[in-house]
A and B are shown apart, each in its own frame.
Chain A
């Protein structure tokens, strides 16, 4: 596609519910990142894939968070037993190459509200 597509745009979950957030990167983009942006803060790194390999998951806040990219294209971020502190905008970004010397293309994000 023309850009990075994320779905759903908005998600309201009851505390304790499991959610799955989808990211469809630009076709052929090797690198894929997930970021979490809490209100009033800058985006914070969650995890990074190069093709299907998850190279860095150091930013995942707890073992309730899980991400996958099984075929090296679409990625899913899953949050189990959601808590109120999980409320945030979840951004996905992709890049054609590995490395930070080109700008990343971001999706519009999924705004998760846990009630």
Chain B
């Protein structure tokens, strides 16, 4: 059973603050790491899919890094805005015959206060 963990569970920041949170996953049999943003009443939106150790990806003010040897990924948000308020989910696919099936962490709920 794949165990994916996220921390912190929730985070409150002020507009303009930069923030980051963590996703931990097993380093063995690694295939990929997905990050999703899920705003209330909307669909989870894919932010990044990362596959290589040392990968760094960026989308606007949001960036992510990946360390497959030690089994963690960081998501950074620079200059948080109220519209960044959402639940951020990371997920890893299982291998073998379950290739493609994602195991999610419990999510980090980010609230950005104006």
Residues of A within 8 A of B (CB): 3-4, 31, 33, 35, 40-45, 48, 55-56, 58-59, 91, 93, 95, 98-109
Tell me whether B32 and A100 are in contact (CB under 8 A): yes
Chain B interface residue bracket vs A: 20 to 34
**Cβ–Cβ < 8 Å partners of A93 in chain B:** 44
Q: Of B14-22, B71-79, B94-102, which binds chain A? A: B94-102
Does more than half of chain A's interface fall in helix, strand or loop, or is it mixed?
loop
Q: Are B98 and A58 touching (Cβ within 8 A)?
A: yes
* Contact pick for B104, options A43, A102, A103, CB 8 Å: A43
Q: Are B102 and A45 in contact (CB under 8 A)?
A: yes
B101 x A33 contact (CB < 8 A): yes
* Complex CA–CA separation, A58 to B106 (angstroms): 20
B62 within 8 A of A: no
